[in-house]
Each structure stands twice: as C-alpha cells, then as structure tokens.
Copies of this chain bind each other. A is one copy, B any other.
Amino acid sequence: MAAPSRLVDFYFDPISPYAWLASRSLERLEGTGLRIRFVPVLFAGLLKAHGNLGPAEVPAKRTYLFRDVMREAARHGLPFSGPPGHPFNPLTALRMCTALDDDEQRRKLALALFAACWEAGEDISDVAALPRLADAAGFDGEALLTRAATPAVKQALAAATDAAIAEGVFGVPTLRLDGELFWGGDRIETLLWRLNGGAIDEDHLAAFLARPPLAQRPR
C-alpha cells in the first residue's frame, strides 16, 4: 500500500490576483508527494475577523499592487487582462467552487474561474456569466449555480472561512502544511524548504512573541 500523500490546503478567493498568480505556480509542489486541496474562503471575512485592511483598500497600495501583479505576470509569462472592475463580489463564484465536493473537480473549476477573471477579463461576479464559464470548463453551469444558492453550500463556505480564521489565516493565498501557514505565492519556495527539512527554533519564536512591546504607535 502506498503511503498516504501529505495534504496542503490552498486557501483562495478569486478576488485576489495574488491567489491567481499562486494558483499558476502550484505545479512546483507536484511530484513532492503532496496533495493540494483548494479551499474557497471569503477574503472579506478574513479581513473583517482580523480587523485588517485589504491591500486594495489603501489607495497607494492599490496603485502599486496592480503594477506589481502585471510585472509578476509578465515575468512568469502569464497574460494579464483583469476583471472589468475591482473589487467585485466573489460570493457566487466561491460558492460554486464550494458546491463541488471532489478536490480535483473543485480545483478545475477554481483554475477556470481564476483564468476567466484575471487572464480573459470576464466578470465572475456576474451570475449570468458564471454558468457559461463553468460550462466551458466542463461542468453543468446552471446546476452548479443552483447548488451554489442552497443554504448548505452557503453555510459550508462560511464554515470554511471560520475554520481558516481559527487556523490564523488572515489573507489569500495561504498554503497550510501540517498546521503551518505560508502566506503568498512567494512562500511556495519556503514550503519546499520546509519539506526538505528546513526548520526554525520554535522555542525562540515563542519566546520572542511573548516579549512585551517597547513602544506602540499612537492610533
């Protein structure tokens, strides 16, 4: 019997262009014995729970962010088109992903919606467009849209978001391996380092985090 593969959770919301970029770099984790599970979470829910601001909610950061996304896309040979407006409401898209129980199917739809939004410039907040986009990816779009509107699926997305918050997830994309978080596509490299035996002194980290602040910024 083959050893069970280790699981990596990939927390995503298609509202994040960095989640899109990371979704296109996950092949680097293949062949390592890892199984990647796409976990749809509502980014706005993470921000609210942590009292955090999204990067696109700070004007100078928003301006920088999309330049950065376009540069990183160009560097990695990915076509950037971008949705017709941002931010947009990703709820229905997230729920359609949530409605798929099979990991591979969910991943396939998520990748299709990421590409539709960020590469092809589709509006994935548009409930008229979503079934067509799901159809094009090999799904029954109308059936999926119907399931996305059920209380069970709505509740499942909310529960997944709450569970992520409880795990300390504050942003997307986040990868999670054995309870350890890796935030941002840039940290795929660090996850691989960890897999190869890289480690930190956990006692030192805990002691450092327990040190009281020497000053606080007045707010």
* Contact for A87 among B51, B199, B217, CB less than 8 A: B217
| Chain A: interface residue total (CB-CB under 8 A) | 64
CB within 8 Å of B: which of A35-91? 44, 47-48, 50-54, 57-64, 66-68, 70-72, 74-75, 80, 82-89
Residues of B within 8 A of A89 (CB): 214-215
Minimal Cβ-Cβ distance residue in B for A183: B64
Contacts A58-B52, A63-B209, A75-B193: A214 and B88 contacting too (C-beta < 8 A)? yes
- Mark A residues whose CB is within 8 Å of B: 44, 47-48, 50-54, 57-64, 66-68, 70-72, 74-75, 80, 82-89, 123, 125, 168-171, 180-181, 183, 186-187, 189-190, 193-194, 198-201, 204-205, 208-209, 211-217, 219
Contacts A168-B64, A190-B72: A215 and B58 contacting too (C-beta < 8 A)? no
* Contact for A208 among B66, B123, B183, CB less than 8 A: B66
Minimal Cβ-Cβ distance residue in B for A201: B70
Residue contact B214 to A123, C-beta cutoff 8 Å: yes
Residue contact A88 to B190, C-beta cutoff 8 Å: no
Q: Once bound together, how far apart are the Cα atoms of A84 and B215, in whole Å?
A: 11
